[in-house]
Amino acid sequence: MQIVHEPFVERIRRVDVDAVVRDAAVTTAGYQGTPAPNQWFGGPALSTSAGNMVLRDAAGLVVDSLNYGGLVDPWASEGYQASSGFEQGGCFVTAPGPEGGFGAVASGADTSAGRFPDGADTDSNCTDFLLQPATTVSAASAAGATNIKVASVADFAAGQTIMIDTGANLESAVIAAVGTAGATTVGAATNVGATVIPVPSATGFSAGHTIAIDSGANRETAVVVSTTGGRGGATITVAPLTLAHAAGAQVSGTGITLTGALTKAHASGAPVSSGVPTPGAPNQYYRRSH
């Protein structure tokens, strides 16, 4: 018997650098939604913290550009570049994600930054783009609750649809009213007349905000005069308390009130965002009126 070995021929196609390589059989990674995109982009993965994008026409001329997360390439950042002050450094798009530069959102939140209105272009990265607001639950919420305590209320507004939690605990809700942020506990028992409340953390609390202390017959409200410290030991100063409060009593802002009751329980730290999926349509943003 004669055995004939056929030579193995490896065919190598010439492809451009950054050409798209896709396997249609892979259904657990990449964009899987509808409608199908009209164009795919290859190349190295974009940084989630900072970078720049440039759009060129058929002749190779730059027709649009932006920096996100910081001024990575200032020449490609549209808008006034001499901004100064706290968390200011020129004109760029705030990047979503836990490492997205100034104003970044909490880990676990599914958010995006985009032009608003969709397609608007005033040649300013600062004014053309909005970031979807995101925060975290700062005190556990039970199923049936109509209010959630959050670490921040910045850029949330009545009428917005929000997503709470992730995975099996994910649910959507509509905001009825936005109050004040923060949730912690009394660190040591306080007496009637006390003006300083020791707390484990004062994160989210700000002077002038109304807070609630304790529950049931011991519940009272107060206005924050000032805060000191951060995580690991802090104080909240208020006008003299009218009731005594035991260690462990809840201290919280008025939070976000919902139009309906929660259907699931949510632990402290669960992400909250306005990143409602809109397949086939522009993402949803909200610009506050000033």
Span 228-242, mean pLDDT?
86
Span 114-137, mean pLDDT?
86
Span 34-41, mean pLDDT?
75
Span 263-286, mean pLDDT?
83
Residue 1 pLDDT exceeds 60: no
* Tens-digit pLDDT profile for residues 2-31: 554 445 444 555 667 677 777 878 877 667
Query: Mean pLDDT across the chain, nearest whole number?
Result: 82
Cα angle, residue 76 at apex, residues 70 and 77 outer, rounded to 5°: 50
- Of 44-58, 74-88, 134-148, 258-272, minimum mean pLDDT range: 74-88
User: Which residue spans within 165-259 are E strands per DSSP?
Assistant: 171-178, 183-185, 196-199, 210-213, 220-230, 233-238, 250-253, 256-258
pLDDT for 96 equals 75
In the structure encoding, which two tokens stand for residue 106, read together? Answer: 């909490």
Residue 67 pLDDT exceeds 80: yes
pLDDT for 118 equals 82
